[in-house]
Amino acid sequence: MAGTVALSVAATSITRTRATTEPALVRWTLIGVVLVFLGLFLAVPLAAVFSEALGKGVAAYFAAFREPDALAAIRLTLLTAAIAVPVNLLFGVAAAWAIAKFEFVGKNLLITLIDLPFSVSPVVSGLIYVLLFGLQGWLGPWLAEHDIKIIFAVPGIVLATIFVTFPFVARELIPLMQAQGTEEEEAARVLGAGGWQTFWRITLPNIKWGLLYGVILCNARAMGEFGAVSVVSGHVRGLTNTVPLHVEILYNEYNSTAAFAVASLLAMLALVTLAAKSIVEWKSQRQMAAGKRTAAEGKVR
């Protein structure tokens, strides 16, 4: 839920002349529409989450977290993110590196495949795993024979999360690395640097802000994913419930204070993510601008 909201406020305040701007009425109407929309769909729900959560006092709010099931859900969510994010970080960097710096057959197919999780409904992604690893699935009998549990267990949740958060890092890095080209790597190679040295000293520092940005989004989604995880989890309290699933269960049990208290955790994650995202965005834009300036000045004849 968090992070997918594209909230980019233009921080630049340019004083424009009359010739290039709309009448005040038009401007303020448009800004007003946007603000009302944001208020209705973002600010009010967010406020509602916290007011409901704190409605019965601070004590009740914190009591919701002392419950063993809630703690288990938080632990599982953290564990899932701790596995899914590094895996997708490695995959994302490798895929972006391959796509941006090399020519090979099937490159376009790979780019399309990376986008697949974005275009498939998360519920369908979850079902794919059930079909693959479930008892009636293709690999089900073999897994049952060897006593490996994937569906309705932690591995299934991790797998589904990895699948859903697959594109974030790669998608962020591919355009960045393509824009940067391969000249700096070539320069490093001619100067005697090996493959690893080139990667650690040249490539990675050049993409670090883009990478961090991708990781933040990936993490937000990994912790907040509901659909795919819901299908494969089996909702076993204290065992296979992540935070979003736990919220649903509490809500369905009319335990709204606890539900909103736990939900407020996710809301706070969203806010932290937004803040981190803005900072990183600002940093990386400055770097991109500097890079572009270098390139543009280099090309002026």
Partner 1 sequence: MSIEVRHITKTFGDFTALKEVSLEIPTGELIALLGPSGSGKTTLLRVIAGLEVADPGSGAILFDGEDATSRSSRDRQVGFVFQHYALFRHMTIFENVAFGLRVRPRKVRPSESEIRERVSALLKLVQLDWLAARYPSQLSGGQRQRVALARALAVEPKVLLLDEPFGSLDAKVRKELRRWLRRLHDELHVTSVFVTHDQEEALEVADRVVVMNEGRVEQVGTPDQVYHHPANPFVYNFLGNVNLFNGRVEGGKVHIGDMAMELPEQMRPDAETAVVYVRPHLLEIDHQPTNTNHFRARVEHINPAGPLVKVELISEWGDPVQVEISQERYRDLRLKKDAEVFVTPKEKKIFVEKYSI
Residues lying near partner 1 in the complex (CB under 8 A) are found at 183-184, 186-194, 197, 201-202, 205-206, 290-291, 293-295, 297-301
Compare residues 6 and 190 and give the one whose CB is closer to partner 1: 190
Smallest gap from residue 100 Cβ to partner 1 (A):
16
The separation between the first and the last C-alpha atoms of the chain, rounded to the nearest angstrom, is: 48
Please, what sign has the CA dihedral across residues 98, 102, 108, 109? negative
What is the token pair recorded at 57?
Answer: 């006092």
Smallest gap from residue 112 Cβ to partner 1 (A):
23
Compare residues 107 and 293 and give the one whose CB is closer to partner 1: 293
Smallest gap from residue 89 Cβ to partner 1 (A):
20
Closest CA to 180 of 294, 282, 94: 294
250 touches 147 (CB < 8 A): no
Instruction: For residue 146, give Cα distances in angstroms to 134, 142, 158.
Output: 14, 6, 20
Compare residues 109 and 191 and give the one whose CB is closer to partner 1: 191
Instruction: For residue 97, give Cα distances in angstroms to 12, 91, 116, 251, 296.
Output: 33, 10, 19, 44, 23
Compare residues 51 and 197 and give the one whose CB is closer to partner 1: 197
| Separation CA 154–CA 143 (nearest Å) | 15
Smallest gap from residue 255 Cβ to partner 1 (A):
51
Compare residues 48 and 187 and give the one whose CB is closer to partner 1: 187
Smallest gap from residue 275 Cβ to partner 1 (A):
25
